[in-house]
Structure 1
């Protein structure tokens, strides 16, 4: 298709993502693009907003295929095609997606910490909910993460994970000690070509923290020590070429929370004892660093990102993205409003994750909310177990949150688990990687997608009844009857599936 062809289209047309830009003197004449991609920008934005990496001057608009954009072409005929620059490597802008939240006990019902996350990933990626029991490992054994092997520890905790089905690591989850973790993609000045080297993914670090950490702080210690030893790197998607990023984490247990933000092998951490906190896709730790990696200030000073005399600000020194994102600010306002009276609870966090006006709930586009988690964390001795709610399906507005409680003989539903693919046939494990696509959909995903939201009201009623019944049981819980919760998650999945038939 040539530029001449485009100028004769009356209606907006789908154009594969090419990141158009023109010379600065022509910025005022740029047509607007209706944006449908993961970048956190307004729905209508001048085309010159986008950054370019590798460009070439062409006589016609070459349509490159990566991410769909709907482009208003009505004014393209006014432009000289010689000044239209097109990214030949077609790299997407950083996806502004994922939000993780925590509200501490001083602002919640019953003093229980409430954790929540929407995992926003490529729209065709399937996320599964899986359970791994407590396991004792042979001395000297290894654990194979997504790309590399590392030393295994003697014993790992039981974990419930919501994870992209193609990788070993997880986007979010909890362990049987009441620790929850969610991670976010961040972009830092230490990023470069070396990030494509296969190391530990941020999602691997998250799972390792849950498997090995007894508390939020000890899970953070696991993550930071492995980060310093092995580094982070490797493709972060099996369908989006070149998607590479560093990571931040929100880690919570029944008594406190930590925000951990990384830049390469450097990191900073902030302890949260009260109030609320949320993270999105930007570094947020400024001058309040409760812990940090050795040499982090010296590294910033040597690179010219800190003058050495002013108060050190981690985010200012290492952030490569000067846009902290409106979603994070909206999320902060939502948490403040809903927790103002000290009555924040499970339903409050569900409403935050389903808020689409802020962009926290991403129902459509190239990146969508592929799965969600809310956890209500109860301290030892309070008489009730922690309860973790997962969707296992895209779009929290039309998904059902289902409860999970750790028990000695808990049963996880097979219908939230993706089919097992032999290692020698799995494109995520065969080198060169991702040479083909395979079907990773699980039954709950397929049924929910086929329904298309047509029975959303009925399912919301089902969820509401489940929330009321579960909360009533937990309020007067007898720990001696914990085994009665063995099938809780499994039964809820089965009930949801019946409504899709």
Structure 2
């Protein structure tokens, strides 16, 4: 279960942000795909480091300024942890990003393929945010059925169906199937999520609470929210502590320290494995420079149609959002090493959250301020290298505290 949002405001870029959740033992890497033909766009996306069958969620942005966030969602037709092969789905979504330039175009392409023989490439329950610099859509899938709503203002998804009767487009058989199954009596009480979501699974996973918390934080960021404000939304812990045995659903998710204990929900065994923020300016903003307000908000240069920042690591609350360029580079080995180092640091901090969560805090703040400023590509790459070097220092200190812990306990017991 992940959290993602879209923020649309007049005369400003469309912002999209996402925490991708997954298995703590499954590293994620960043990949930049070059266009293979003149009709395609370069694509930045994240994927599992290994050829995993079960990745569940994913996110990507293309050079034309189109972004997709895919989340699996429990429905009456399938469960969140069903055994569907997700590799075909990842290939399909990458293909949509490579071949589409607008949100509505991508929506129509996904619906077309979902309705055809390629439906098996997508899970039978999903939420897909689709955004460009002018508009955004939410597409939700349940079995063979689907519904879509045009986003106005802001929208948050947290691994559960949310479209009710507010849809703008819907599968022609949706109401008929819901009535046949006894999930609705008429069109008056029909809601796509109400009829097709798996209510017990949604309750256990805490999707509604998590979505409400993320939406509350997004509203609190204000109308002039920028990348730094949205990063704080993705780092939110809903007033709880990540190392608590029982904790409220958090936007920034951490794995339970007792993952195999009886009664621990599946979502509590997962964690945020990668985070992304992207600014998608409309065509008239891509040659900005005359409007100072847009300049400060976008931090874009005239040759940059969009800006993308990713952590490349788990736990955004302990990490740094850094710029990722569309120029082809071999990110996979570099980002997997960073991911594994950061996961070691993350787990060491969880073993003593109150004392250790501030390790590296001032350094992270300085790096991220630079990352959100308008920077040349070389400086962006430099930030990734600086983050890794600093992470080695933080990790050494966190593991030193781990080694000291038994000695401190022994002293207490000897008293």
Q: TM-score band (shorter)? A: 0.7 to 0.9
Kept in 1: contact 2:68–2:129 (CA 8 A) = yes
- For 1:265, which of 137, 140, 144 is the aligned residue? 144
Higher helix share: 2
Tell whether 2:389 aligns with 1:494: no
**Larger RCO: 1 or 2 (CA < 8 Å, sep 6+):** 2
Separation (CA, whole Å) in 2 of partners of 1:404 and 1:165: 18
Q: 1:189 to 1:373 in 2, by over 3 A?
A: same
Separation (CA, whole Å) in 1 of partners of 2:329 and 2:42: 12
Tell whether 2:56 aligns with 1:172: no
Superposition map of 1:317-396 within 5 A: 317-321=195-199, 323=203, 325-339=208-222, 342-357=223-238, 359-365=250-256, 366-382=269-285, 383=287, 384=300, 385=304, 386-396=306-316
Tell whether 2:163 aligns with 1:285: yes
- For 1:163, which of 19, 38, 47 is the aligned residue? 47
Q: What's 1:466 paired with?
A: 370
Q: What's 1:28 paired with?
A: none
Separation (CA, whole Å) in 2 of partners of 1:247 and 1:381: 33
Normalised TM-score (structure 2): 0.73
- For 1:411, which of 329, 344, 366 is the aligned residue? 329
Tell whether 2:16 aligns with 1:98: no
Q: What's 1:130 paired with?
A: 31
Normalised TM-score (structure 1): 0.61
Q: What's 1:94 paired with?
A: none
C-alpha RMSD of matched pairs (Å): 2.8
Q: 1:192 to 1:204 in 2, by over 3 A?
A: same
Deviation at 1:117, TM superposition (A): 0.4
1:178-220 per-residue CA deviation (whole Å, 9 max, x = no partner) reads 1111122211112289x64657755444323212221111112
Separation (CA, whole Å) in 2 of partners of 1:468 and 1:129: 19
| 2:274 counterpart SS class | strand
Separation (CA, whole Å) in 2 of partners of 1:328 and 1:215: 26
Separation (CA, whole Å) in 2 of partners of 1:230 and 1:279: 27
Separation (CA, whole Å) in 1 of partners of 2:186 and 2:118: 26
Deviation at 1:410, TM superposition (A): 4.6
Separation (CA, whole Å) in 2 of partners of 1:287 and 1:404: 38
Q: What's 1:446 paired with?
A: 340
Q: 1:125 to 1:350 in 2, by over 3 A?
A: same
Q: What's 2:134 paired with?
A: 255
Q: 1:210 to 1:280 in 2, by over 3 A?
A: same
Q: 1:307 to 1:186 in 2, by over 3 A?
A: same
1:209-237 per-residue CA deviation (whole Å, 9 max, x = no partner) reads 21222111111222222211135558x9x
**Which of these two proteins has the greater Rg computed from alpha carbons?**
1
Runs of 5+ in structure 2 lacking a partner?
Answer: 239-248, 257-268, 288-299, 350-355, 393-415
Runs of 5+ in structure 1 lacking a partner?
Answer: 1-96, 137-153, 237-243, 418-441, 474-483
Separation (CA, whole Å) in 2 of partners of 1:446 and 1:191: 32
Number of residue-to-residue matches in the alignment: 335
Deviation at 1:302, TM superposition (A): 2.2
Kept in 2: contact 1:199–1:231 (CA 8 A) = no
| 1:111 counterpart SS class | coil
Q: 1:245 to 1:118 in 2, by over 3 A?
A: farther
Kept in 2: contact 1:200–1:232 (CA 8 A) = no
Deviation at 1:245, TM superposition (A): 6.2
Moved more, 203-212 or 346-355: 203-212
Kept in 2: contact 1:199–1:233 (CA 8 A) = no
Separation (CA, whole Å) in 1 of partners of 2:341 and 2:83: 36
Separation (CA, whole Å) in 2 of partners of 1:400 and 1:224: 35
Q: 1:496 to 1:293 in 2, by over 3 A?
A: same
Deviation at 1:304, TM superposition (A): 2.2
Separation (CA, whole Å) in 2 of partners of 1:332 and 1:350: 14
Q: 1:304 to 1:205 in 2, by over 3 A?
A: farther
Tell whether 2:18 aligns with 1:117: yes
